[in-house]
Amino acid sequence: MLKQVIIIGAGLAGLSAAKKLKEQNIPFVLLEAAERVGGKIDSITFDNGIYFELGPQFFNNDMHAFKQLLSAANIPVVETALDSNSIEVDDYRRLDVTPIIQKLHTIEKTSLSEDIPLQTLYEKVITNEQDRRIIESYFCEILNIHPSQASAIASLESSNRYLSEQNDLLLQGAKPFKELTQYLASLFQEELYTNHPVYAIHKVNDYYEVHTTKQVFYAQTVIIALPPTIACKIQFSEKLKTHFMPALQSYVDGAIIKITWLYPQKFWQDKQPLNGVIYTSVPGVSVVDSSKKQEDARLTMFIGAEAAHEFATLNTPTRLQQATTLLEQYFGEIVHSYTNVQESIWVNHPYCGGGYSAKVKFDGLIDAPMILRTPHENIVFASSEIALKFPNFMEGAIQAGYNAVDKLILKK
């Protein structure tokens, strides 16, 4: 049966596009490769009610679309236990790194006539070797790739699309975010097909054939709600390949491992109120206080870029032991007093890619995001990477899904 729209990917971008199509009574199908919806949004809940977010966890008050969806899904918002006096330090000097991070703001308005690696750009401003190690580790975690790989122009443009002055760790959900994606999926159960990996898209006359491993679907329009590094694995007909593939291949996958420890109390606040630690001994590792206000005590470690690739090769007990040892190096033996620990690995995932999101690489197309979010022959892409607002965040994924529907010429 010929549908008006096929959406490929039931992560937050695809689910948001589907929600908007449903509200407009536009016929569609939503194809998801995995058994579950949500993409990188996933949670684990225990019988005692304690839960852990395995994927994205934080947001702020300026991320309006995400907050609206949480309200619709009956998920209350709670504040992260951020103290205005708390600081972020490095693991070597144990000093506040805020002045060093603030130096990066001087490059945000830099105008470049030619692209250079992001590392080359910030090293023009930051000359002290220890400060450079701090910034290298900072970017390895934030970008999930080494800054020498990242396009400076694309990174600056992405940063400028973060339309908020608020801390992105400000808020969390009072219920698992998995409930949000399950709520969205419940709105269009008849249109949703899980376990349907798409491997080819071919144009036939004035419609598209979308081939999954189980069957072929037909539609006038296609929304590809996948990370660029996953979408580029699809077999496109020649004209589509010529138009989109250079932009898709301009992205490189990130890598991130997230580990959260639950403790009886916040021992790390006994002396100096502490927001987090940037490790220079292992570039790409940082630890943040992920506790909610007046609730449990948690530390979350993010391991990004090459360090994530290395940790991902270890078995689970060894990986957790080495990560806890890193905690111990800063906080002492008390870190072994945790009551629960959970990890999630986003490295070379077959359907979600790696890291928080893919990044435009140095020597890639600077305008790759614009190419992908601009409809061509009734095909458009939607993912957090290409969002006009809050790229690489959950808000960005929602905005990208909505934007894809708005930009396509759809006949109701």
pLDDT in tens, 276-285: 999 999 999 9
Higher pLDDT, 109 or 287: 287
Whether 106 has a pLDDT exceeding 90, the answer reads no
For residue 276, the surrounding DSSP H or E stretch is strand 274-279
pLDDT (tens digit, 9 = 90+) per residue, 317-364?
A: 999 999 999 999 999 999 999 999 999 999 999 999 999 999 999 999
pLDDT (tens digit, 9 = 90+) per residue, 219-264?
A: 999 999 999 999 999 999 999 999 999 999 999 999 999 999 999 9
pLDDT (tens digit, 9 = 90+) per residue, 126-176?
A: 999 999 999 999 999 999 999 999 999 999 999 999 999 999 999 999 999
Give 410's pLDDT tier (boundaries 50, 70, 90): low
For residue 65, the surrounding DSSP H or E stretch is helix 64-72
Whether 86 has a pLDDT exceeding 90, the answer reads no
Give 111's pLDDT tier (boundaries 50, 70, 90): confident
Classify strands 2-8 and 28-31 as parallel, antiparallel or unpaired: parallel
Measured torsion, CA atoms of residues 69, 74, 79, 81, in degrees rounded to the nearest 10: -120
- Rounded to an integer, the average pLDDT of 354-381 is 96
Q: Which part of the chain has CATH 3.90.660.10?
A: 87-166+256-346
Residue 233, token pair as written in the block: 């694995």
What whole-number distance in Å separates Cα of residue 181 and Cα of residue 173? 13
**Packing angle of the helix pair 178-186, 64-72 (nearest 10 deg):** 70
pLDDT at 181: 98
Whether 23 has a pLDDT exceeding 60, the answer reads yes
Give 411's pLDDT tier (boundaries 50, 70, 90): very low
- Give the position of tokens 């309006």: 64
- Rounded to an integer, the average pLDDT of 83-106 is 90
pLDDT at 256: 98
Strand partners, 292: 80
Tell me the fold of 2-40+176-251+362-407. FAD/NAD(P)-binding domain (3.50.50)
What whole-number distance in Å separates Cα of residue 248 and Cα of residue 391? 16
Cβ 33 vs Cβ 196: under 8 Å: yes
How far lies 68's CA from each of 232, 330, 398, in Å? Answer: 32, 39, 11
The CB density around residue 285, as the number of other CB atoms within 10 Å, is 26
What whole-number distance in Å separates Cα of residue 392 and Cα of residue 377? 26
The dihedral through the CA atoms of 23, 26, 29, 30 has a sign that is negative
Count Cβ atoms within 10 A of the Cβ of residue 296 and give its class: 0-12 exposed, 13-18 middle, 19 or more buried.
middle
pLDDT at 404: 97
The dihedral through the CA atoms of 53, 59, 61, 66 has a sign that is negative
Could you tell me which of 35, 80, 11, 63 has the C-alpha nearest to residue 396?
63
Q: What is the CA radius of gyration of the chain?
A: 21
pLDDT at 274: 86
What whole-number distance in Å separates Cα of residue 27 and Cα of residue 53? 33
How far lies 388's CA from each of 161, 163, 302, 318, 382, in Å? Answer: 6, 10, 26, 40, 11
User: What amino acid occupies position 194?
Assistant: T
Q: Which part of the chain has CATH 3.50.50.60?
A: 2-40+176-251+362-407
Lowest mean pLDDT among 50-64, 106-120, 183-197, 287-301: 106-120
Non-local CB neighbours of 371 within 8 Å, separated by 6+ positions: 243, 244, 246, 247, 365
The proportion of the chain whose per-residue pLDDT surpasses 70, expressed as a percent, equals 99
CATH architecture of the domain 87-166+256-346 equals Alpha-Beta Complex (3.90)
